[in-house]
Amino acid sequence: WKEPVAGDAPALVIHPPDGQVPNLTEQARDSVRYYREHLHDTFANMESGDRCLSRGVFGMMMPTAYNNGKLFVQAPGVVIIHSEMIHNARIIPVGDSPHVDTDIRQWEGDPRGHWEGDTLVVEVTNFSDKTFGTQQPAGTYRGGGRDQRVIERFTRVDARTIRYEFTIEDPMRWTRSFSGEFPFVRMDEQLYEYACH
């Protein structure tokens, strides 16, 4: 499966109705400014994608200029989304297991999924403040607030299309939540290893 290449589709944001990503909070603007000014002072200030560690949930799922392939694998109690870019794999437990303790923070958060009819709903919490990158539509992004939460919905609408919907809540970073959607379209090509340097 692959998402459309940026520019192939209209804006991803569907809420708020004006189609605009909300403003950053003052604290978030200060953080973005700092990391732009000090990007190469130390490896820890470099984007995690540039370091070939992770592009984070947003970077992994959003359309980019290339390497947009995704492999969805479903097994009992788990869904895995393997991304062509940086060879990332998201492992999503499906069922009624609780999130890990709030003191445990992870690069791509702690996902938990459940089914609502034919739709896989994934709630992601417990993001690490170390994830850092330019991740559309969220823009330059450094970690998240303790209250950051992402809700994703995957719905198979026909034999070749999965509708992907997301809502981002992060009161430390954004002045309000926002939502977007786009289709993943089935591809018949093989995914190859992504060699990151």
At 113 the pLDDT is 97
At 87 the pLDDT is 78
| Burial readout 144-166 (b: 16 or more C-beta within 10 A, e: otherwise) | bbeebbbebbbbeeeeeebebbb
Burial class of residue 45, CB neighbours in 10 A (0-12, 13-18, 19+): middle
Encoded amino acid at 76, one letter: P
Ranges of residues in the chain whose predicted pLDDT is under 70 = 1-10, 131-145, 197
User: Looking at the DSSP assignment, which residues form a beta bridge with residue 133?
Assistant: 141
Q: In which region does residue 121 sit, left (phi positive, over 0), alpha (psi from -120 to 50) or beta (all else)?
A: beta
Contact 94, 78 (CB under 8 A): yes
At 155 the pLDDT is 97
CA pair distance 48, 154, nearest whole angstrom: 26
At 142 the pLDDT is 61
At 143 the pLDDT is 59
